[in-house]
Amino acid sequence: MLDRLSLRIRVFLFFAALGLGVVVAISMGFGLGYRRLAAPEALSGFVQAWVVAGFVALLLVAWVWFLFDANVAKPIDILSGALRARAHSDVTSDMDVAIARYLGDLAPAATAAARRLTETRSALAESVMRETQRLSQEKARLETLLSDVPVGVLLVSGDHTLAFYNTQAVDLMAGGVAPGLDRRLFDYLRDGPVRHAHDRLIATGDPDAATDLLCTTTTGARVLAARMRLTPGGQGAAPGYVLTLRDVTADLSAHARREALLTEVFDRMRRPAANLSTLMAVVPPGEALPEAMERALRQELGALSQAVTELAGRHDEGRIEGGGLTQTRALDLADGLKARLEAEGVALQSTAAEVLLRANGFEIISLLDGLALHLRREIGAEDLSLRIDEEDSSAMIRLCWAGAPLGIGALERWLEEPLDRLVPEVSCRSVLASHATEIWPEPVAGGRQSLCLPIRQARRATARPKPVIRSVVYDFDLLSRARTDKVAETPLEALTYVVFDTETTGLLPQQGDEIVQIAAVRIVNGRRVDGEVFDTQVNPRRSIPLSSTEVHGITEAMVADAPEVDEVLRRFHKFAEGAVLIAHNAPFDMQFLRRREAELGLAFDHPVLDTVLLSAVIYGQHETHSLDALTHRLGITIPEADRHTAIGDTVATADAFLKLMPMLKGRELTTFGAVLTEVRKHGRLLKDLN
């Protein structure tokens, strides 16, 4: 039982027993002397002497205990904590040997051992780094490849939890919010089609089999086309699977619009056609039409012509939207045509507006290149120039020249020729058709001639948006990790954690103080997942005192447009679902969450760990356990700009916990229940919230 007590408590008990033994020895000595003297009148003197001797003896023992505790037991405790930090958490800073100056060679020996351990670890790390550099490069290439594939890719365990996802999958399933490793797939996709496909593949018994399915997201009802293939392994459990996703909602919508357009075409043309047939049936051949009938006939012909024109325009717009045309910069198109013509010995002057054209740049350049060469050869065009002008939501391309005008017949003949000799089946006219446009000659100012080619869709080029960060998030160990419903029996590294921190208007939630910022990160399988972050400011619906702003830097203007606390806490509850919550001084942060449980209809009943108490387990209660002190001991640097911000303190707390975890395991505290038992011994520091 004594081995469960800390060193300092055991030393205290030793000296307490020593003091008790001294008092008992003095009592026996005085009792024996009194009996041999056999003088009752001397009893009071013996009692007084016993009291003085006992008090002095106890005082002497207490003084020696205090010196021993301050100069031996406490330094040993601090030294052991420092050694564990260097043994388990890669802390490389020098130890403070002055605290153990009365321990002889112990502190220098411990320092030498720690330094040697650091040197050995560095040499080993360098060797491993050299051996694994090639694998790291291949891994980086694979991540880049998978992050940029045009479909969403998921790797899911046999119990339908996520072990891998790329950015495209995030956009498809969760609307840009990272879904999270070790989270249930069915939080984002409806489970029926996925479960049925999984069961089908298992039933086939063919490891190479694949199946297609159609599934929908749980929010937004986005329709996704998916393909599932089982992954090898499983060790008796249900096998995991790879799921590739493609959004077909837009395809289905475009198809529905085309079908609706065809239906409208038939409906709008059927009535005028029927009326015209009736009119023509009642008119005898060779006779002039009555005036009323002629008027009706003209009216029906006008309606039919208008319907055909309108429906043709809508059809052209649909072809542009669904034809795979991309955004092409007008300047790039002009430069490409200039380069093509200069390679053939033809000079070209060009000016282009800052617009983006919805067009196939290769086809347009090839078309204009062929027309320019025809103009040079057949009508002797000189002084060629190109202008691309913005016209509302469209653009006009003008190929101009000095010389004779171009006839329509010649232009029609040129348009029938192949666009490129390498692809003879594609004609110049097909380029106009694919862009739903036309081309015609017309004169321009200064006696020059031009060919006009309108591009129906164009927009002004703006500043380039920030690049979309493509990434993949994965942990393949999740595919084979054993799971248990009993949190107390779960190993520390097998739990999922959400480390969080809040900034508030003050320290008294009972008197109306509210959250102004909350941030959190997820730790899965013993590592912090960079892509899974919760960070938002909160509108507290009350004023923020200047004294609080001086601490965290958040003003009322900064949170005026931020979401309110009810919405933020619902989102945070979803983010932390199924995880152990970790905070530094957790009772303070948790009271801001739990006071809202009744009105939100939610319960923040997660298991909770507090890094203050974990620090006390490792370093003892005599140390300072502020976040600054803890991170300093663990060699973690908090940038000054991030201190007292929710996300900065959250990341620091998460990194501190990751360094404390192997130190806890080094003390054989390997499960959540074992850590909780040890934490509760330090209840005088903070209340355990579990």
* Shared-domain flag, residues 523 and 658: yes
Position 322 pLDDT exceeds 50: no
Q: Which of 281, 296, 322 is the last residue of a domain?
A: 322
Cα(163)–Cα(180) distance, rounded to whole angstroms? 9
Q: What is the CATH number of the domain that holds 205?
A: 3.30.450.20
Whether the pLDDT of residue 361 is over 90: the answer is no
Same domain for 361 and 419, yes or no, is yes
Contact 369, 384 (CB under 8 A): no
Q: Which of 160, 374, 644, 682 is catalytic?
A: 644
Q: Is residue 400 located within the same domain as residue 542?
A: no
Residue 240 included in any domain: yes
Q: Where are the alpha helices (DSSP H) in 379-476?
A: 408-415, 428-434
3-state SS string over 315-340? HHHHHHHHCCCEEEEHHHHHHHHHHH
Do 341 and 313 fall into the same domain? no
In a domain, 137, yes or no: no
Q: Is the pLDDT of residue 481 over 80?
A: no
Number of domains in the chain: 5
State pLDDT tens for residues 265-288.
Answer: 655 665 665 666 565 555 566 566
- Both 422 and 492 in one domain: the answer is no
With both helix axes pointing from N to C terminus, report the angle between 646-666 and 611-619 in degrees, rounded to the nearest 10. 40
Task: Kindly tell me if the per-residue pLDDT of 263 is higher than 60.
Answer: no
Q: Is residue 40 part of a domain?
A: yes
Residue 88 falls in the annotated catalytic set: no
Domain shared by 166 and 90, yes or no: no
pLDDT value at residue 640: 77
pLDDT confidence of 395, banded at 50, 70, 90?
Answer: very high
Tell me: do 159 and 213 sit in the same domain.
yes
Residue 23 to residue 46: CA distance in whole angstroms: 14
Q: Do 574 and 490 fall into the same domain?
A: yes
Q: Indicate whether 58 and 95 sit together in one domain.
A: yes
CA 669 to CA 655: how far, in whole Å? 19
User: Two tokens at 537?
Assistant: 């400011």
Beta strands in 167-301 (DSSP E): 210-216, 223-230, 241-247
CATH number of the domain encompassing residue 418:
3.30.565.10
Both 267 and 312 in one domain: the answer is: yes
Query: Has residue 128 been placed in a domain?
Result: no
Last residue of a domain, one of 299, 322, 345: 322
Count the residues in the chain.
Answer: 690
Residues 429 and 578 in one domain: no
Rounded to an integer, the average pLDDT of 508-536 is 90
For residue 644, tell me if it sits in a domain: yes
Could you tell me if residue 119 is inside a domain? no
Q: Is residue 109 part of a domain?
A: no
Tokens representing residue 523 in the block? 């730790």
Contact 502, 645 (CB under 8 A): no
Structural domain for 601, as ranges? 484-682
Please check whether residue 435 lies inside any domain of the structure.
Answer: yes
Cα distances (Å, whole numbers) of residue 403 to 73, 121, 376, 378, 450: 103, 81, 10, 11, 10
317 has a pLDDT exceeding 60: no
Backbone phi and psi for residue 300, each to the nearest 5 degrees, phi listed first? -70, -40
- If asked whether residues 76 and 24 sit together in one domain, one would say yes
Q: What pLDDT is attached to residue 645?
A: 87
Which percentage of the chain shows pLDDT scores above 70? 77
